[in-house]
Amino acid sequence: MGRVFGTDGVRGTVGSDPMTVDFAMRLASAAGRVLAPDGGSVAVGKDTRISGYMFEAALEAGFVAAGVDVKLLQVMPTPGIAYLTRVLGADLGVVISASHNRYDDNGIKFFDRHGSKLDDSVQQQIEALIDEPPVTRESSRLGRAERRYDAVDRYIGFCKQSTPEPLDLSGMRLVVDGANGATYKIAPRVFADLGADVVTIACSPNGKNINDGCGSTAPNVLQSTVKALEADLGIAFDGDGDRVMMVDHTGAVVDGDQLLFAIVGSRLASGGLHGPVVGTVMSNLGLEKALEGLGVGFHRAAVGDRNVLASLRKNGGILGGETSGHILCLDRTTTGDGIVAAIQVLEAIKRSGQPLASLVAGMARFPQRLVNVQVVPGFDHTGSARVAEALQAVERALGGEGRVVLRASGTEPVIRVMVEGRNESVVADFAEQLAGAVREAAEAETAG
C-alpha cells in the first residue's frame, strides 16, 4: 500500500481524512495531471451513497479545472465504469464507492484507459502530487462536463452479450438482491431481458441503506425469500456490484470459490478453459483439491482482485477470484464483474441442465475459521517470536491437511487469522489459539 492508496483505491469515513471534499479535488487534479496531462477525458460513476453526490461534484471540479473533460455516468456498478471507460475512449475511469462498507464510508478508485486497475507506479505518481493545491487552467484549456444518459443501456447490452451464444433464461425464477447499491436498477433488467422471472429485494436505495442487512455480505433475507418463493436461485451483489454470491434452490449460500468452480467446470466442458485458475491465500482448500481432481492448475495470489488479475496475466489464465465473490472472467471482461460472473454461472446451469447445487457438489469445502484481531496501528506480527512459535505449532499439528494464513488488513488495524482443516472443532480451537498469541504480542508491544 502507498501513502494514500490502499489495497483498492482510497477509502475512509466520510468527513475524515482522506474522504473530504478538499482531498477529492486535490486527488482529481493530481490524477488528471498524471493520466491526462494534455487534456483528455475521464469517466466518473458512483454507487448510491448519499455522499456520492458531494464527491462527484468535487471530482468534477478538480478534473475540469485541470483541463480534463468529464463524462458523468451517474449510478453505475464499478465494472460498468471499467467497461464504459474503454468504450467511451476515456483516459481514465473513476469510481466513487466503498464497496461492501456502510453508507458512512466512501472511497475513490481508478481504472486506466483499458479498464484495468492502476499499476502501483502510476498510483505513486499521483501520490507525489496529492499535497499540491488543485491547478486551474486558463479558460481556453478548461475541461467540459457532460452527463451520459446512455451509460446504463450500454452496460446492460454488454452484460447480456457476455456469453458466446444468446442466453435464454425463460422458465427460471430468480431472486435478485441489489444491496440497495449500484446494481439495484441494472441487474434486474439484465436478467429480465434474458427471459427470467425476476423478484427483487433490497433494490430501493435511499442513500443510507446500502449494504444494510442485505447484499452479498448479509444473504439471510435472500435465503428465506428463495425458499419461500421456491425460486431456482438467488443472486446477491455488494454495494458497487463487483462481487456476487448466490443461494441455491435449497436456500444454501454458494460462495465465490464454489461459483468459480462451477464456471471452471463449464469452461472445461466447452473447451474454453486456458491456463491455470487463480485464487488467493484465503481461497478454500476445497477449491484447490477439487480443481486438482479435474486436472486444472491452481495458483494463489495475495488478497485483492488486482493481485488475482496480475497473476492471471502472468500465468496465462482467464478465470480467477476470491471467496468473497470477486470473480474475474478475462475472456469476457477486464475486471471483477458481479453481473457478468452471475451470467456465466447461469450459462453453466442452462448448458448442463443441472441445478446450481449439483454443479458445486464436486467441491467439498474445508471448515475454515477467520478471526479478526484488533491491534494498534502499525503493529507488525511478522516480527513477533511469540506469534512465530504459535504459528509453527499449529502448522505442525495440521500437517498437510490444512492451512494457516496470517495477514494484516489493508483497510483497518486488524490482523486476520485464518485456519483451515478437515475437522471444524479443531480448526476453531487452533484459530483461537493463534489469535490469542497475536493479541498477547500486540499488547506486549503496546505496554513496552
Mean pLDDT (whole number) for 170-186: 98
Asked if pLDDT for residue 448 goes beyond 90, the answer is: no
**Exposed / middle / buried, residue 148 (Cβ in 10 Å: 0-12, 13-18, 19+):** middle
Asked if pLDDT for residue 265 goes beyond 90, the answer is: yes
Asked if pLDDT for residue 409 goes beyond 90, the answer is: no
Do both 343 and 329 map to the same domain? yes
Q: Specify the range with the lowest mean pLDDT, choosing from 251-260, 359-368, 396-405.
A: 396-405
Last residue within a domain, chosen from 296, 330, 365: 365
Evaluate whether residue 1 is within a structural domain: no
Do both 98 and 228 map to the same domain? no
Evaluate whether residue 105 is within a structural domain: yes
At which residue does the C-alpha cell 433475507 appear? 221
- CATH number, residue 107: 3.40.120.10
**pLDDT per residue over 114-136, tens digit each?**
999 898 899 999 999 999 999 99
Do both 22 and 167 map to the same domain? no
What pLDDT is attached to residue 399?
85
Do both 355 and 379 map to the same domain? no
Do both 173 and 312 map to the same domain? yes
Do both 195 and 311 map to the same domain? yes
Q: Predicted confidence band at 279 (pLDDT cuts at 50, 70, 90)? A: very high
Share of the chain above pLDDT 90, in %: 91
Do both 350 and 388 map to the same domain? no
Evaluate whether residue 101 is within a structural domain: yes
Mean pLDDT (whole number) for 301-325: 94
- Grid cell digits, residue 97: 464507492
Do both 156 and 110 map to the same domain? no
**pLDDT per residue over 417-434, tens digit each?**
999 999 999 999 999 999
Do both 102 and 158 map to the same domain? no
- What is the pTM assigned to this prediction? 0.92
Mean pLDDT (whole number) for 25-50: 96
Asked if pLDDT for residue 396 goes beyond 80, the answer is: yes
Asked if pLDDT for residue 2 goes beyond 80, the answer is: no
Asked if pLDDT for residue 410 goes beyond 90, the answer is: no
Determine the structural domain holding residue 34 and report its residue range. 10-149
Do both 374 and 354 map to the same domain? no
Mean pLDDT (whole number) for 402-411: 86
Last residue within a domain, chosen from 149, 184, 211: 149
Evaluate whether residue 308 is within a structural domain: yes
Evaluate whether residue 355 is within a structural domain: yes
Residue type, 87: V
Of 374, 422, 399, 408, the residue nearest 281 (C-alpha): 408
Q: What is the mean pLDDT of the chain?
A: 95
Mean pLDDT (whole number) for 160-166: 96
Do both 123 and 22 map to the same domain? yes
Do both 113 and 166 map to the same domain? no
- Whether 99 is catalytic is yes
Asked if pLDDT for residue 252 goes beyond 70, the answer is: yes
Evaluate whether residue 386 is within a structural domain: yes
Residue type, 407: R
Asked if pLDDT for residue 346 goes beyond 70, the answer is: yes
- CATH number, residue 390: 3.30.310.50
Evaluate whether residue 4 is within a structural domain: no
Number of domains in the chain: 3
What pLDDT is attached to residue 1?
52
Mean pLDDT (whole number) for 3-15: 89
Asked if pLDDT for residue 29 goes beyond 70, the answer is: yes
**Is 42 in contact with 69 (CB distance < 8 Å)?**
yes
**CA–CA separation, 67 vs 70, rounded Å?**
10
- Residue 249 DSSP class: T
Catalytic member of 41, 51, 97, 99: 99
**pLDDT per residue over 233-248, tens digit each?**
999 999 999 999 999 9
Mean pLDDT (whole number) for 250-255: 98
Q: Predicted confidence band at 67 (pLDDT cuts at 50, 70, 90)? A: very high
Evaluate whether residue 2 is within a structural domain: no
**Is 260 in contact with 277 (CB distance < 8 Å)?**
yes
Last residue within a domain, chosen from 118, 149, 180: 149
